[in-house]
Amino acid sequence: MAKYEYTEKKDTRSGFGAGLLEAGKRNPQVVALCADLTGSLKMDAFKDEFPDRFIQAGIAEANMMGVAAGLTIGGKIPFTGTFANFSTGRVYDQIRQSIAYSDKNVKICASHAGLTLGEDGATHQILEDIGLMKMLPGMTVINPCDYNQTKAATIAIAEFEGPVYLRFGRPKWPVFTPENQKFEIGKAITFQEGTDLTIIATGHCVWEALKAAEYLEETENISVEVINIHTIKPLDEAAILKSATKTRKVITAEEHQMNGGLGDSVAQLLARKLPTPMEMVAVNDSFGESGKPEELFEKYGLSSKSIIEKAKILLAR
Amino acid sequence: MPSIQELEKTASQIRRDIVRMVHAVNSGHPGGSLGCADFFTALYFEILEHSTDFSMDGKNEDLFFLSNGHISPVFYSALARSGYFPVSELSSFRKINTRLQGHPTTHEGLPGIRMASGSLGQGLSVAAGAAMAKKMNGDSKIVYSLHGDGELQEGQIWEAMMFAAHQKIDNLIMTVDWNGRQIDGDVEDVLSLGDLRSKFEAFGWEVIDMEGNQMQNVVDTLRFAKTKCGHGKPIAILMKTEMGQGVDYMMGTHAWHGVAPNDEQLANALDQLEETLGDY
């Protein structure tokens, strides 16, 4: 009997759309900008409810980021919406100077992140965005794991003062966290406790981590702790150190390059404060390609199968 | 309301501040700063409806954004001389642990600065956003921005121009410092802007010419531009200036874009610029 079950699959971008509408209802200062991807970002509901607070920016992302920065000066809380690739790499200097260095309260909301964008292929499958954004001083970086968590995160960042990068995805994915949960920025969630091994996961890989933990417990009798780091920056160092102290073995799992991602942040922390044997499940210095999300997760080593393989390597060390 | 003569005297003092600030740290950008001294003087001492008791949101105030942040010396001098912070602080320009960074920033909390600039091409987007927020808030005041002509080579400027016209942001007055020079030489040779007036008009902007080193013309043109607000179009002022204006050996060349004068050159420059309000 699985400890974690899901009754339906929903896309995290729809969680963003639902959260944005709710944030807009709660605070009239919330405004939204979109670069010609309103339907893809599920921003239609907000646009229909608050047409005067929705700004169509066209395919001009650099300008959109600057306009968002300017809107904050008049007290607005702007949410920008486009694909993760165009939310980060394409506009890095605009975010760096006009938003991060200028201390502007902009919420950069990025859909279609990672391999699970699928068939569109590597031009759009950004796997470097977490690294780009976490390097910016003062930037908060969040990568929720399912529909409900994405919705809660979207509502939470509207109430948080400061620039935020919120990363989510395109495919329908298991929904396994509670509806109407309270989202605490920077606070890890322990899905299950264990003593032999810690899996620290973010985004779509959290579900893979739970599947891997179930398998390891049932077939290998290994006690696995599963921690969800939805906020990559600021990192919940206390939660990670506490778990690593107990298990002395850590695997990270994420839909991102190994360089610059969650694993890299965890490794930095452990190297400084508690050197611990580690393995990382992440894309290893490679671009993606066209395919179905599940196929890409298999091929690029992000599925529960890869987590299980890394666990066995780690336990044998 | 200051007379034109009084404004000219203020501009002379601002020019002294510029060359002294740049000389003191042997770095900074005197050429464009000197060229824009008359514009800044008119703006901060005559045109802007603003409070020197600074608040970031600038509610019910006119706002100004400097997009070509490298001309920070003229910006800092105008802010200090109009009362945003002590004039004595100009001596801290570009030094460690100070608020007067090489390029303007909000990061150190210097009153009068609402965005960081230096990486070119970003300020028009920010100004457009701030102007939109004013409209959403029912705030009838105006947003001004300044840009270098070389800066117009950045693509983001043209994204912002398209956007501002499409959104009918008619409480926005951008000014282009059209001195025709950039680091590597004349703009015409480096990457020509072509027929700028026609380009701006084709983008849907109201375009006005200005003689940027004639104080009466600067004041009159800025007043005229204000009357053009509220008519459905953003407004662009093409401001003809001379890089290095007021210091003869800095004029007629791009050489003083980002070079500081030595001791002898400073003395020469100060001989040409009347001390009117007292050096810092």
pLDDT digits (tens, 9 = 90+) for B171-212: 999 999 999 999 999 999 999 999 999 999 999 999 999 999
Q: Which ranges in B2-122 belong to alpha helices (H)?
A: 4-25, 30-35, 37-42, 72-81
Question: Mean pLDDT score of chain B, rounded to an integer?
Answer: 97
Residue in B128, B133, B160 closest to A75 by CB: B133
Residue in B122, B132, B136 closest to A98 by CB: B122
Tell me whether residues A70 and B132 touch, CB distance under 8 A: yes
Q: Which of A187, A191, A200 is nearest to A244 (CA)?
A: A200
- Mean pLDDT, residues B116-130: 98
**Closest-CA distance of chain B to residue A100, Å:** 10
**The two structure tokens encoding residue A160:** 């948080």
Q: Report the pLDDT value the prediction gives residue B162, as an integer from 0 to 100.
A: 98
Whether the per-residue pLDDT at B168 is higher than 50: the answer is: yes
Distances (CA, A) of B177 to A95, A301, B237: 25, 54, 9
Q: Which of A85, A84, A82, A20 is nearest to A53 (CA)?
A: A20
Q: Report the pLDDT value the prediction gives residue B88, as an integer from 0 to 100.
A: 98
Chain A, nearest residue to B130 by Cα: A70
Place of tokens 């950069």: A108
* A32 in Cβ contact with A78 (< 8 Å): yes
Chain A, nearest residue to B119 by Cα: A97
User: What is the rounded CA–CA span in Å between residue A217 and residue B49?
Assistant: 70
**B50-108, pLDDT tens digit by residue?**
999 999 999 999 999 999 999 999 999 999 999 999 999 999 999 999 999 999 999 99
Contacts (Cβ under 8 Å, ≥6 apart) of A178? A148
* A297 in Cβ contact with A303 (< 8 Å): yes
Q: How would you write the pLDDT of chain A (317 residues) with one tens digit per residue?
A: 356 788 899 999 999 999 999 999 999 999 999 999 999 999 999 999 999 999 999 999 999 999 999 999 999 999 999 999 999 999 999 999 999 999 999 999 999 999 999 999 999 999 999 999 999 999 999 999 999 999 999 999 999 999 999 999 999 999 999 999 999 999 999 999 999 999 999 999 999 999 999 999 999 999 999 999 999 999 999 999 999 999 999 999 999 999 999 999 999 999 999 999 999 999 999 999 999 999 999 999 999 999 999 999 999 98
* B38 in Cβ contact with B117 (< 8 Å): no
Whether the per-residue pLDDT at B233 is higher than 60: the answer is: yes
**The two structure tokens encoding residue B18:** 């510029």
Q: Report the pLDDT value the prediction gives residue A1, as an integer from 0 to 100.
A: 36
Tell me whether residues A66 and B124 touch, CB distance under 8 A: yes
Task: Tell me the residue type at B151.
Answer: E
Tell me whether residues B115 and A96 touch, CB distance under 8 A: no
- Mean pLDDT, residues B129-152: 98
Residues of A that are catalytic: 61
- What does pTM read for this prediction? 0.97
Report the DSSP beta bridge partners of residue A79. A32, A107
For the question of an ipTM over 0.95, the answer is yes
Q: Which residues from A are below 8 Å from B when comparing CB atoms?
A: 31, 52-53, 55, 57-58, 60, 62-76, 78, 93-94, 96-98, 101-104
Residue in B123, B130, B166 closest to A74 by CB: B130
User: What is the rounded CA–CA span in Å between residue B84 and residue B86?
Assistant: 7
Chain A, nearest residue to B124 by Cα: A66
Q: Which of A180, A165, A9 is nearest to A95 (CA)?
A: A165
Domains of chain B: 4-272 (3.40.50.970)
Cis peptide before A234 (omega within 30 of 0): yes
Which of B119, B136, B141 best probes binding to A when mutated, by most A CB atoms within 10 angstroms? Answer: B136
Order across the sheet with B235-240: list the strands: B63-66, B143-148, B172-178, B235-240, B206-211
Tell me whether residues B133 and A71 touch, CB distance under 8 A: yes
Q: Which ranges in B51-154 belong to alpha helices (H)?
A: 72-81, 123-136
Tell me whether residues A73 and B57 touch, CB distance under 8 A: yes
Question: By the CB < 8 Å criterion, does B138 face chain A?
Answer: no
Q: Report the pLDDT value the prediction gives residue A210, as an integer from 0 to 100.
A: 97
Contacts (Cβ under 8 Å, ≥6 apart) of B154? B120, B121
**Closest-CA distance of chain A to residue B174, Å:** 15
* B179 in Cβ contact with B35 (< 8 Å): yes
Tell me whether residues A94 and B156 touch, CB distance under 8 A: yes
Domains of chain A: 9-174 (3.40.50.970), 189-312 (3.40.50.920)
Q: Report the pLDDT value the prediction gives residue A4, as an integer from 0 to 100.
A: 78
Tell me whether residues B115 and A71 touch, CB distance under 8 A: no
Give A-chain residues touching B133 at CB under 8 angstroms. 70-76
